Amino acid sequence: MRILDRACVIVHQHVTTMYPPGASLPSTKQLALALGLPEKHVHQGLLRLDSLGEIALHTGSVPVRLRTREPHPRDRALQGAVRDRIRAGHYRPGTALPTGLLGEEFGLLPHHVRRALRFLTAEGSLRYDERGAYGPGYYVPVALAEAVS
């Protein structure tokens, strides 16, 4: 295992065992000192946790450990827009969402768009299909669209 990957595992284990959901995290520097790791490795570990939706970084305040099934603060606008567009019929049943365009529209990187859409998938608003009609991607489920109509 690469050194950086091992450091990310250590950061993940530390954050998820030492900080309950909703808790504020210490600074990257403080975590690095506590774990005996270089700051840059701790920072990369925190970025990975952020992209997984386990913590929220760069939200205008201190980093916070997110609660289970709590949406990432930066994802809420995208998630709300997707839900509204499904209800309005803008995204039709069985069609893939334009993830690249959504990322541009909401100023999110591709991995942040995937994080937001994984949340919608977990709640049943979308489905991920490796072999979808338009290739791998996030699709509006037919059953959901029929229930909304």
pLDDT, tens digit (0-9, with 9 covering 90-100), for 47-70: 999 988 899 987 667 889 999 889
pTM for the complete prediction? Answer: 0.79
**What digits encode the pLDDT tens for the residues 114-144?**
999 999 999 999 999 999 888 999 999 987 5
Question: 16: which strand partners?
Answer: none
Residue 20, token pair as written in the block: 């309950």
Count other C-beta atoms under 10 Å from residue 79's C-beta: 19
How many other C-beta atoms can be found within 10 angstroms of the C-beta atom of residue 62? 12
